[in-house]
Structure 1
Amino acid sequence: MELTVTDLSIARGGLPVLTGVSLRLGPGRALVLRGPNGIGKTTLLRTIAGLQPPLSGSIGLPPEDIAYAGHADGIKPTLSVTENLRFWARIFGTGDIAPALGAMDLVALAERPAQSLSAGQKRRLGLARLLVTGRRFWLLDEPTVSLDVASVALFAGAVRAHLAQGGAALMATHIDLGIAEAEVLDLTAFRAASAAPAPGGFDEAFA
């Protein structure tokens, strides 16, 4: 099964930002979204994830096949690293969290409360959630924020392993992750010409 986006138009703050976006993403492939700040990368990812409606166009993929990782890490601060991952594993009906702990170098931090982690460690925990979802299509919004060079390499390795297992990844990032399978889509060509308010009022203000 593929993720298909056909002639999609989206708005931020009630104003059209992108129009006519079409893309296809199949198993084992990665696609990197590029473009200047504010062009609508986050809004596009949120729309594909089903978190806000498009102005027009269509998205072909069951929501249960998608795992979305946005700017927030999505962790519970009072729970330990292990408890956080077990919580998400139960939510998604998956099992062993050990591979996720190992992949994002969290084994030594397994019993530490999430609220005591550094920004980079919290980000690694947030990304480790992807590994326990069992979802095939990852939507990732600036996933390497707060990560050092070594952690970026860990994340890139996790993405490559996901692709090798038949998964796919759609990412907004300015970092070259060194993933040979990754193609690039520059959203500049889809910038909306009109700044008129969109029908139906305002959506959430995301870049």
Structure 2
Amino acid sequence: MELRVTDLACARGGLPVLEGVSFTVQPGRALVLRGPNGIGKTTLLRTLAGLQPPLAGSVSVPPESMAYAAHADGLKATLTVTENLGFWARVFGTHDIEPALQRMNLSGLRDRLAQNLSAGQKRRLGLARLLVTNRPIWVLDEPTVSLDTDSVALFAGVVHDHLKNGGLALFATHIELGLASADTLDLAPFKAKIPEEGTGTGFDGGFDEAFA
């Protein structure tokens, strides 16, 4: 499934942050978004995932074809690793969670409550949800936060296999994952023009730089 984005514009807090964003990602490829904090990487990913409407433009595939992983791990603290992952598997209509547990090195933690996991273990469990969605497009916002070097390599292998099997991925990350099939897109040229101070907005042209 090809992802094609055409002249997309998106906003944060009611103000436009990006405009005219266009790109295509083919099956088996990944696209890494680049740009300084505040440029709009998270806003773009949320818009693509259907969590907020675009101001303009089009996305060639529906949000239902995407699995979105953000900063929050989305775990229930009083459920075990197995119960957390099993819940998401049922949401997405799958049942076998064993491959996901094994791939994210969670098999030995299956009966541990999420509240008793380390930050890195929680992150691995949150990312394991991607493997039970059966969705071809992964939309990932800083997925390696809290992961140590070994876990980053583990996750990079999971993404590599996803791409090898015909999936595609879209990242906002500052970590090099070593994916040979990854391209980059600098968002700086798509930064929306913010009205200057005194034009009635109440904000100056540097407003979006205050947000990560």
User: Does the alignment reach a TM-score above 0.5?
Assistant: yes
Residue 129 in 1 paired to residue 129 in 2? yes
Whole-angstrom distance in 2 between the partners of 1:41 and 1:27: 21
Q: SS of 1:183's equivalent?
A: strand
Look up the match of 1:158: 158
Whole-angstrom distance in 1 between the partners of 2:47 and 2:63: 11
TM superposition score normalised by structure 1 = 0.93
Unaligned 5+ segments in structure 2 are 202-209
Q: How many residues align?
A: 200
Q: SS of 1:71's equivalent?
A: coil
Residue 189 in 1 paired to residue 201 in 2? no
Is this contact kept in 1: 2:156–2:179, CA < 8 A?
yes
Q: SS of 2:133's equivalent?
A: coil
Deviation (angstroms), 1:206: 6.8
CA RMSD of aligned residues (A): 1.4
Whole-angstrom distance in 2 between the partners of 1:89 and 1:115: 20
TM superposition score normalised by structure 2 = 0.91
Whole-angstrom distance in 2 between the partners of 1:35 and 1:192: 14
Tell which structure's C-alpha radius of gyration is larger. 2
Look up the match of 1:59: 59
Any idea what the Cα deviations from partners look like across 1:44-94, whole Å, max 9, x if unmatched? 000000000111111110222110001110111111001111111110011
Look up the match of 1:42: 42
Whole-angstrom distance in 1 between the partners of 2:211 and 2:92: 27
Whole-angstrom distance in 2 between the partners of 1:175 and 1:164: 21
Whole-angstrom distance in 2 between the partners of 1:92 and 1:30: 23
Amino acid at match of 2:15: L
Residue 75 in 1 paired to residue 78 in 2? no
Taking every aligned residue pair, what percent have the same amino acid on both sides? 71
